Amino acid sequence: MLGESIYHFSGLRMWGTESVWSMPGLVFGKFFMYLWASASLLVAVLLGFTVLHFNRVRPIVSILGFFSFFHAGVLWFFSTQPLAQVWQATPAVFVYNSWYTLQLKIEASILLLFGLFVCYGVVKGYLTFTKK
What number is the average pLDDT over the span 60-80?
89
Could you tell me what percent of the chain has a pLDDT over 90? 18
Q: What is the predicted pLDDT for the residue at 103?
A: 84
CA dist 47 and 53 (Å) reads 10
Each domain of the chain, given as residue ranges in start order, spans 1-52, 54-132
CB 102 within 8 A of CB 80: no
Long-range residue pairs from 26-31, CB within 8 A, at least 24 positions apart, any chain = 28/93, 29/93
Helix (H, G, I), strand (E, B) or coil at 47: helix
pLDDT at position 69 over 90: yes
pLDDT in tens, 43-65: 889 888 888 888 787 888 888 88
Helix (H, G, I), strand (E, B) or coil at 17: coil
Q: What is the predicted pLDDT for the residue at 64?
A: 86
86 against 58, higher pLDDT: 58
Nearest C-alpha neighbor of 99 from the set 5, 31, 15: 15
Q: What is the predicted pLDDT for the residue at 29?
A: 82
CB 69 within 8 A of CB 112: yes
Q: Which pLDDT band holds residue 131 (cuts at 50, 70, 90)? A: low
